[in-house]
Amino acid sequence: MDFAVVVTVEILHSIAVLVLISSGLAVIFGMMRVINLAHGEFLTLGGYVAILGHRNGLNLYFCMLVLAPVVVGLWGLIVERLVVRWLYGRLINTMLATWGLSLAMTGAFSMIFGNTMTGIPNPLGGLTVGDYQISGYSLFLIAAAALVMAVITIVLKATRAGLIARGAMQRPDMAQAFGLNISHVYMTTFAAGAALSGLAGALLAPLVGLGPGSGANYIAKAFITVISGGASVVTGTIVSAGLFGSISQVFTLVTSSVGGEIALLVAAVVLLRLMPIGITGRFFKGWT
């Protein structure tokens, strides 16, 4: 029984990590059809901002929940204005440009922070469940992921900004005809996606060792989750993260870490063969 609780928490934790690392990408790709290959570096930047802020005496939760998203969001704004906005609708060019950006950011990280691993101490201790120990921070991450999904849903569904964003994404010409400034909508959406990436990177920082190349560890999983999820930002992310998180964690428990990764990839390939436009392309149509 106790072990079942531990396993459940591990599975939820795994899902939460997938939700967090892919939510920023989901917003940018799902809504704007822009493939941001620098997504991993946005995550890393969030981690570095949190670490630097904490080292300079700021409160850890402030650094993770406020400082990192704000800084990375601003960085996203700059990137959108300088690079991405000239390339809307040109998929390959955007990929090349953001790939170049990711290389440049990795280089800059190693110049500024050195090519060593850094980290911040985990703020929460362990919890005892019967004979077992679980990480208190896992529960915090699960709550954070749920909250992020809830906030995105509310913003998209219940606010005027969300309505405008969705409208502008679906029919940009129509939205423009209503007098909306499409360029500003895109800019804000990109910055919001970047801010979400920054938040995710900062939240992961106390769990992992962070180095200049850390982004590469996440990007494949983030893309698999987003592409398999399909067009709906929230539903797609939750459904595919839920599916892949459970599959990889169950297989890791039963076989090994390699088994878990293989199971995840096989599941993704099968899924995309059956549903080429993602889960929400077939089911949950019209969901947010």
Computed over its alpha carbons, how large is the radius of gyration of the chain?
19
Is the CB of 17 or the CB of 50 nearer to other proteins? 17
Q: What is the smallest separation between the CB atom of 131 and other proteins, expressed in angstroms?
A: 7
With CA atoms as reference, report the closest residue to 28 among 39, 17, 20, 43.
39
Whether 238 and 19 have beta carbons less than 8 Å apart is answered as: yes
Is the CB of 8 or the CB of 181 nearer to other proteins? 8
Is the CB of 6 or the CB of 271 nearer to other proteins? 6
Q: What is the smallest separation between the CB atom of 98 and other proteins, expressed in angstroms?
A: 21
Q: What is the smallest separation between the CB atom of 79 and other proteins, expressed in angstroms?
A: 24
Task: Specify the residue for token string 């955007």.
Answer: 94
What is the C-alpha to C-alpha distance for residues 279 and 230, in angstroms, rounded to an integer?
A: 6
Is the CB of 89 or the CB of 125 nearer to other proteins? 125
With CA atoms as reference, report the closest residue to 91 among 44, 135, 146, 35.
35
Is the CB of 152 or the CB of 205 nearer to other proteins? 205
Q: What are phi and psi of 125, to 5 degrees?
A: -85, -165
Q: Among positive and negative, which fits the CA dihedral 50, 38, 118, 257? A: positive
Binding site for other proteins (CB under 8 A): 3, 6-7, 10, 13-14, 17, 110, 114-119, 121-122, 124-128, 131-138, 206-214, 216-217, 249, 252-253, 256-258, 260-261
Q: What is the smallest separation between the CB atom of 44 and other proteins, expressed in angstroms?
A: 12
Q: What is the smallest separation between the CB atom of 11 and other proteins, expressed in angstroms?
A: 9
What does each C-alpha distance from 136 to 141, 148, 163 come to in angstroms? 9, 19, 37
